[in-house]
A and B are shown apart, each in its own frame.
Chain A
Amino acid sequence: MTALTDDTLPVTPRAMRDEMVVFVVMALLLASVPFTGVYPFFVMQALCFALLACAFNLLIGYGGLLSFGHAMFLGTAGYCSAHALKVWALPPELGIPVGIAAAFVLSLITGYISIRRQGIYFSMITLALSQLLYFIYLQAPFTHGEDGIQGIPQGRMFGVFDLSKPTVLYYVVLVGFLAGFLLIYRIINSPFGEVLKAIRENEPRAISLGYRTDQYKFLAFVLSGTLAGFAGALKVFVAQNASLTDVHWSMSGEVVLMTLVGGLGTIFGPVVGAFAIIAMQQYLASFGQWVTVIQGSIFVICVLTFRRGVIGEIAHYFRRSL
């Protein structure tokens, strides 16, 4: 298997310091958004997708596994959180864990099935599984089929934070995103993450060193799926609905696109990619189906000329890992 990224630079204290500097700058920039007049709804939406793309990137960038069904975690967590908030009338601090737990269980099951095959088959299996769930959600009564779950109450988090206020909601989503991002960063730089990279680079060698690679891949899959579920649960508060769009294969494709544009296997790439793609959709919304054509073209251009992605190219130029 050829490496996805050529930047296998050792993790030095200096590299980690640089990454933390970039992280703090990113956090400060995002925290100042409500004071700049930028439409907060757009940034919140982008943050949810950025977290989703980061979770997806954990699997492909560090585990070498291309999942073409990550929308199933986003959508499942969204539906379950929405149901918990609306029908069970749970407060937000309990509604979010319900969604995450659902994504966790789903990733246990789908991971157990899909990790049995490698490479290209893995991608096809995850795609087929997400399509299976799509049809289940289309028919299941609690999802309300084509209509989706609408008018979800945002409620008060811990009884204090009124999430119907855009600024409060923005900071809650931001904190959620930053927490998820730091967790992924921690996973990547843990001994577990190092083994994962070793498997990506050379699986037979990792096996010969005594690692049970299937277990590592399975754990990476579950972590990635659960974190994607976290993104889905947060998104419910932003969009105030949960619909079939979030489970559709085109959503899985969009996540892949975001990560590819930003840079597979880079730490900040998925965030940049998510903002770029969401911004593009916002500005080009009036062009109808041409958005699909443009997305397709970006795929083609990225694969043919720009495989490292935006952040990957920058990191390559400065010979850093970002």
Chain B
Amino acid sequence: MQALYAQLLVGLINGSFYALLSLGLAVIFGMLNIINFAHGALYMMGAFVAYFLLSLGGINYWWALLLAPVIVGIFGMILERTMLQWLTGLDHLYGLLLTFGIALIVQGVFQNYFGSSGLPYAIPDQLKGGLNLGFMFLPVYRAWVVIFSLVVCIATWFLIEKTRLGAYLRAATENPTLVRAFGINVPRMITLTYGLGVGLAALAGVLSAPINQVRPLMGADLIIVVFAVVVIGGMGSIMGSIITGFALGVIEGLTKYFYPEASNTVVFVLMVLVLLVKPTGLTGRAA
């Protein structure tokens, strides 16, 4: 039973990353009509920024949790201003190709300097150790990742669905021209949205640094799984992305316990099943 609970916890952690990443993809797709292939590379950058802050500047985990998303978010906004904005009005696929190119560049540069092996990132002192819950041993850091991700996801949902800023954002997703006519600076909102989505990816990167090590290709395979998550959940609903992300992480964890051979593929197999039964995805609108 111990092993089952342990795999469930791993599943919840992976689910946190799926949720944070697919949330960012959904927010970006809503505003920019672009599937951000660079999302995995920016997630990796988040982990690396945390690593640099600690090893070069002596800045600890807690500051990295705040600074890395901001730094990578600014990098993202620069990308949006210099490149992505020129794709408005073109076919969707150009956005995918451009961000794929950006992902190759970022990953290639990091691979050149850091190879493919992982760099260690220590768990902060306050989150070391574990709790004995009787039925299992719960490492504090892992519990922290799940709870903190959940809080960030809910906060993002609240920001978009319940605040005035979120209302502008949703309105601009529906009809940018009309929202502009009301005197709202839509291009700036688009830039900020991209920064927000990218920041969420970087945050996931910082959270994963102590667990998965910091590797140049850490986001490359992850992003493909997240694409499958997005296909399953659909990008129409914020809450849908969050729930699908966590649920698929848990299912993956269960598979690792019951049938480990399929743990790499279970999300893709589920995607196929969902497409066969309900082609529009679980929460999705037709697209």
Interface residues of A (CB under 8 A from B): 1-2, 4, 60, 66, 68, 113-114, 116-121, 123-125, 127-129, 131-132, 135-136, 138-139, 249, 253, 256, 260, 288-293, 295-300, 302-304, 307
Contact = CB atoms under 8 A, between A and B. Distances in A.
Given A135-B264, A292-B107, A2 B224 contact: no
Nearest to A112: B276
B276 A113 contact: yes
B272 A129 contact: yes
Interface stretch (B202-210, B226-234, B241-249): B226-234
Contacts of B89: 2
Q: Which 5 A-B pairs have the closest CB atoms?
A: A299-B101, A296-B104, A292-B108, A296-B105, A293-B108
B90 A296 contact: no
Interface in B86-136: 86-87, 89-94, 96-98, 100-109, 111-112
B279 A116 contact: yes
Nearest to A114: B275
B100 A120 contact: no
Contacts of A131: 221, 224-225, 228, 268
B83 interface: yes
Interface of B: 29, 35, 83, 86-87, 89-94, 96-98, 100-109, 111-112, 220-221, 224-225, 227-228, 230-231, 261, 264-265, 268-269, 271-272, 275-276, 279-280, 287
A300 B105 contact: yes
Given A132-B272, A292-B104, A295-B101, 11 more contacts: A117-B279, A117-B287, A120-B96, A132-B265, A135-B268, A136-B265, A249-B224, A292-B105, A296-B102, A296-B105, A297-B105
- Pick the most buried of A123, A260, A302: most chain B CB atoms within 10 A of its CB: A123
Contact of B272 (A60, A68, A113, A289): A113
Contacts of B221: 131
A291 B279 CA distance: 38
- Pick the most buried of A4, A66, A121, A291: most chain B CB atoms within 10 A of its CB: A121
- Pick the most buried of A114, A129, A293: most chain B CB atoms within 10 A of its CB: A293
Interface residues of chain B: helix, strand, loop or mixed (majority): helix
Given A120-B96, A129-B268, A1 B108 contact: no
B276 to A, nearest CB: 7
Interface residues of chain A: helix, strand, loop or mixed (majority): helix
8 contacts: A113-B272, A120-B29, A128-B227, A138-B264, A290-B108, A293-B104, A295-B108, A296-B108
Contacts of A256: 97, 100
A292 B105 CA distance: 7
A119 B92 CA distance: 7
A300 B276 contact: no
A263 to B, nearest CB: 14
A60 to B, nearest CB: 8
Nearest to A293: B108
Contacts of A66: 93, 96-97
Contacts of B83: 300, 304
A113 B111 CA distance: 35
B227 A300 contact: no
